[in-house]
Amino acid sequence: MARATRTTSSPSPAAPAGGAAPVIPARGLRKQYGDFHAVQGIDLEVRPGECFGLLGPNGAGKSTAMRMLAGTSQRTGGELRILGIDPEEDGPAVRARLGVVPQQDNLDEDLTARENILIYGRYFGLPYSCLRPKAEELLAFAQLTDKADAKVTDLSGGMKRRLVIARALVNEPALFLLDEPTTGLDPQARHILWDRLYRLKEHADTLQQDLARLVAEGHVTAPVTQLTRRASLEDVFLILTGRTLVD
């Protein structure tokens, strides 16, 4: 049975200033494959600026839930909004605003690292004049500048994961979904990847602070909430599920 667990740790989320609407409200989210219940009623509420994790042993339904959140799998039941949109009513509008890092790398192996970012950006209709500098920026962020012209087949596992993350940022997503981003990586590759993700979170926090300042100065009226997470997901997993990590 799948269940969702809020993994954001102390400090607990402050009451959202001005009642910021959740970017993901989900109630009783369900998914059945035939008679099999893969996800049995998940309630989620993820607010702007929050880092939110789904925890559970293998087969619990995390990837299935992620696919519903990403607008690539229809729910069997329950209510779901992503950035204010029901993915079943307008999946393309939802997907245009998301960055998705799937569990399995789905890079185009015939292309170079740079080309993977450029072509992916074209799916969002972005012009090459924007994409070219963006690709360089993302390659630098992913520490892949010196691998820009390398074919995907020549990249290590950690490099491929970083490239998938860089590629998923090409449309400057409002919501970033990652499905087990470090699975299968050695400790050093995992460390580099988490470092990149923390930087991303810091960047998002900076944007939140800028927005909060603009609100405080009366320039904009958008509601703002912010939360800092400091916890090892593996520790939280073991505490909450009482299980050892299994394959």
Residue 21 DSSP code: P
CB nearer to ligand ADP: give 1 or 14: 1
Q: Which is nearer to ligand ADP, 18 or 77 (CB)?
A: 77
Least Å distance, CB 65 to ligand ADP, is 7
For residue 63, the minimal CB distance to ligand ADP (Å) is 3
User: Residues in the chain, how many?
Assistant: 247
Q: How far is the CB of 176 from ligand ADP (least distance, A)?
A: 18
2 or 135: whose CB is closer to ligand ADP? 2
| Distance from the Cα of residue 134 to its chain's centroid | 19
Q: How far apart are CA 76 and CA 37, in angstroms?
A: 10
> Closest CB to ligand ADP among 34 and 125?
34
Strand 77-80 to 175-178 pairing: unpaired
Minimum CB separation of residue 103 from ligand ADP in Å reads: 7
Q: Which residues bind ligand ADP (CB under 6 A)?
A: 33, 36, 38, 56, 58-64
Do 165 and 197 touch, CB atoms closer than 8 A?
Answer: yes
Closer Cβ to ligand ADP, 66 or 152, answer by number? 66
Residue 56 CB, nearest approach to ligand ADP (Å): 5
Q: How far is it, in rounded angstroms, from Cα 62 to Cα 69?
A: 10
* Residue 204 CB contacts under 8 Å (≥ 6 apart), including other chains: 49
Q: What stretches of the chain show up as alpha helix (H) in DSSP?
A: 62-69, 91-96, 113-123, 128-141, 157-168, 187-216, 233-241
Distances (CA, A) of 42 to 2, 86, 107, 220: 8, 16, 30, 34
> Minimum distance between the CB of residue 157 and ligand ADP, rounded to whole angstroms?
19
Q: Which is nearer to ligand ADP, 61 or 158 (CB)?
A: 61
Name beta bridge partners: 44.
26
Q: What are phi and psi of 160, to 5 degrees?
A: -65, -40
